[in-house]
């Protein structure tokens, strides 16, 4: 009987931690438009928008990139902006070296993808399973 209870509690704990991790995770897709159908932007730091999804793939918000036309240092400027929004993963066509370094310092993962924002999030979540 004790073993059954321990196994049941272990399963509940595992499922709770998986659900909690998914809720905590936020995915920012560098995008050329404001909708899920928008193309993933070729360069992360210069993307016109960032589409922010929760860990289950639901679009939470579309935010304009305030650093898309910065004279220099767009990558290092946009990382704190995304970190403040709780982003843990960024998807784009490519990342500059400075942005990659800034993301590593903040514990943000990078994912390279070409296609639409919706396809990117769907593929990322499928591969994560």
pLDDT tens per residue, range 63-77: 999 999 998 889 999
Question: H-type helices in 1-129, by residue range?
Answer: 2-24, 74-84, 97-106, 117-128
More confident residue, 70 or 88: 88
Q: Is 36 helix (H, G, I), strand (E, B) or coil?
A: coil
pLDDT given at position 128: 84
Reported as a pLDDT band with limits 50, 70 and 90, residue 103 is very high
Q: Looking at residues 83-112, what average pLDDT do you find?
A: 97
* Weakest mean pLDDT among 8-12, 24-28, 103-107: 8-12
pLDDT given at position 129: 72
pLDDT given at position 72: 87
| 54 pLDDT higher than 70 | yes
Q: Looking at residues 39-60, what average pLDDT do you find?
A: 97
Report the CATH fold assignment for 25-128.
Answer: Nucleotidyltransferase; domain 5 (3.30.420)
pLDDT given at position 18: 41
pLDDT given at position 23: 55
Tally of CA atoms within 13 A in the half-sphere of 56 that contains its CB = 6
| 12 pLDDT higher than 50 | no
Nearest to 65 by CA among 32, 98, 27: 32
Domain ranges of the chain: 25-128
Mean of all residue pLDDT scores within the chain? 88
């Amino acid at each position: 009987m004790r073993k059954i209870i321990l196994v049941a509690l272990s399963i509940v704990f595992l499922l709770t931690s998986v659900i909690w991790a998914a809720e905590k995770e936020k995915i920012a897709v560098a995008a050329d438009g404001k909708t899920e159908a928008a193309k993933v932007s070729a360069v992360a730091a210069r993307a016109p928008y960032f589409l922010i999804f929760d860990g289950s793939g639901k679009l939470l918000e579309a935010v304009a990139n305030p650093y898309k036309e910065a004279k220099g240092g767009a990558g290092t400027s946009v990382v704190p902006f995304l970190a403040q929004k709780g982003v843990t993963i960024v998807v784009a066509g490519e990342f500059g070296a400075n942005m990659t370094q800034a993301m590593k310092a903040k514990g943000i993962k990078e994912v390279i993808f070409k296609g639409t924002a919706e396809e990117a999030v769907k593929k990322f979540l499928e591969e994560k399973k």
